Amino acid sequence: MEYLLFIALGALISVLSGFFGVGGGFILTPTLMLFGFSPVEAITTSLLFSIGTSLSGIFAHIRMKNIWLKQGLILGLSGMAATQAAHPFVLFLEEKGWDTWAVPLFYIILLSYFALGMLKRGRKSTSAVLPSELSPSIVKMVLIGFFAGFVSTTLGVGGGFIMVPLSVAYLGMMPKKAVGTSLFAVMLIVSAGFLSYASTVSIDYWIGISLVTGGLIGSQFGARLTSYFENEEITYMLGALYMATVASVILKLIHLNYTGLVLMAIFVGGFLVRSLVKVQKANARIKAKKERP
């Protein structure tokens, strides 16, 4: 029964992962901590999960031509280099006993910053292709990839929740392209991050496999959902997701774990309902066109 719960959790998170291109780890890590996992266990399990969901989401975005291979390689390889610096930093925090408050605090600061930025950007029109989208700066890509990789291994996330908004804001990528390219880079980063932890941290691999099993089910569906939403909607909803996650982490710090879980469940439920409405309306329009004489 426990493993069925984690399969369902993996499926729900992977829908969000495929839709937003964020790997799913930034949602899973705090959720696992709400379930009672230690920060390092949550980080390692989350990185394993992110490998599976990223691979699955990549195939869906390849079909939709949302991945820029060159940019993804630069971001991903830069991030892989950063994982080697972040791993000893996390082990240092654990040794000092600081991980229980430092990891959640990092989440709150980073997610709050990106939430405000994405919500603000979501109110602006992004329908036009920015000139910089044609040739993003290599230096900017390296810096973004390194920063995302360091945070990925420090917090047990894919790095996509950092890479997507920064790619939109500083590389000039449209949100859908940023989502697909980010997933490709995330796959490289989380693979390196997980291998750096696997040799020193003991986790329940059956839970990890259960999460990945659910993740493989949901990520394809999440990636396809992007075709039913405008770029502005995706950006705005990503900002809202960041805010919900920030609130859940704050609740964890004040020992209101179950309240945090309920809050995340409300957001996920609202997202799924909104998505189903969008799909039904789109299918209705297609059906109406076919029935026209």
118 has a pLDDT exceeding 70: no
Q: State the total domains in the chain.
A: 1
- Per-residue pLDDT at 127: 45
- Per-residue pLDDT at 155: 72
- Per-residue pLDDT at 143: 92
Question: Among residues of the chain, what percentage have pLDDT more than 90?
Answer: 5
Hey, what amino acid is at 32? L
122 has a pLDDT exceeding 60: no
pLDDT band for position 128 (50/70/90)? very low
178 has a pLDDT exceeding 70: yes
Which value, in Å, is the radius of gyration of the alpha carbons in the chain?
18
Q: Tell me the mean pLDDT in the region 155-159.
A: 67
Instruction: Name the one residue in this structure whose structure tokens are 């610096």.
Output: 85
pTM over 0.75: no
Q: Tell me the mean pLDDT in the region 7-36.
A: 79
The domain of 71 spans 2-291
Each residue's pLDDT tens digit, 235-290: 778 778 878 878 887 887 787 877 877 887 888 888 888 888 888 888 888 878 77
Q: 3-state SS of the chain? A: CHHHHHHHHHHHHHHHHHHHCCCCHHHHHHHHHHCCCCHHHHHHHHHHHHHHHHHHHHHHHHHCCCCCHHHHHHHHHHHHHHHHHHHHHHHHHHHHCCHHHHHHHHHHHHHHHHHHHHHHHHCCCCCCCCHHHHCCCHHHHHHHHHHHHHHHHHHCCCCHHHHHHHHHHHCCCCHHHHHHHHHHHHHHHHHHHHHHHHCCCCCCHHHHHHHHHHHHHHHHHHHHHHHHCCHHHHHHHHHHHHHHHHHHHHHHHCCCHHHHHHHHHHHHHHHHHHHHHHHHHHHHHHHHHHHCC
9 has a pLDDT exceeding 50: yes
- Per-residue pLDDT at 264: 78
